[in-house]
Structures are given as structure tokens and as C-alpha cells.
Amino acid sequence: MEFVANLHAFPLPVELVFVLLVSAFVMTDPVTEGNPEYAPARTLIACCLILLGLACVSFSVAYVIGHYSEVVTAEKAKEFVLPLVLTASFVPFLYMVSVLLRRSSGAPIAA
């Protein structure tokens, strides 16, 4: 979902207001966490954060639907697949480094 959300940026005023609201709610949440008398405020903060998140995702999905021909391109497919390929190729490398380090330390190698 992060890939879809990062396909486009909101206009600067919208982005500034969005970041300000999310920051205020996220910083206020821990204050309301410990005290039971702040439970209604915590519920309101959680609901507001959920609504802001859903608004962001819905605008991103609407952008993808509205600009489908610009979004579904070979370049975007490469941008989407590249992290998957790099992660899949890095895991065997880490395994081989682990095997070599165990072998050089004299520890038994467990598969």
C-alpha cells in the first residue's frame, strides 16, 4: 500500500496541514495513554488518525484509478519489483556470510 501512497504527492498546502494534524495527534496520544480520565480523548485521537489515514489511502487509490495509464507503466513496474528482487537476492548473501563466519570461528554449522 505504501507504493500506491507514494505514487504522487499532495499539493503543498494540503501536505503541510496533513503533516501538522498527524503530528499533533501522534504526539498527543502518549499523553492520554496513562490516565483513565483521558480515555474519551484517546478514543477521539485514534478515530481522527484512522480517518486521516483512510483519507490519504482513498485519495491515493482515486489518483491511481484516475491516472491509470500513467501509473501502470514498465518503469513503475520496475520500481515496484526492484525492492523485492534486491531483498530476495540479499537473503542468500546473508546466509553465506553467516556460514562463513561460523566456519571461521569454529562453531558447528546448523542448517
Work out the percent of the chain whose per-residue pLDDT is above 70.
89
Q: What is the predicted pLDDT for the residue at 5?
A: 66
SS3 readout for 47-84: HHHHHHHHHHHHHHHHHHHHCHHHHCCHHHHHHHHHHH
Tens digits of residue pLDDT in 4-52: 667 777 889 988 999 999 999 999 988 888 888 999 999 999 999 999 9
Question: Residue 110 corresponds to which amino acid?
Answer: A
Q: CA 76 to CA 66: how far, in whole Å?
A: 16
Q: What is the mean pLDDT of residues 88-100?
A: 92
Q: What is the predicted pLDDT for the residue at 71?
A: 78
Q: What is the predicted pLDDT for the residue at 105?
A: 78
Q: What is the mean pLDDT of residues 87-103?
A: 91
Q: How big, in percent rounded to 5, are the helix, strand and coil portions of the chain? A: 85, 0, 15
Q: What is the mean pLDDT of residues 80-87?
A: 90
Cβ atoms of 29 and 41 closer than 8 Å: no
Q: CA 91 to CA 76: how far, in whole Å?
A: 24
Q: CA 50 to CA 55: how far, in whole Å?
A: 9
Residue-averaged pLDDT of the chain = 86
pTM: 0.62
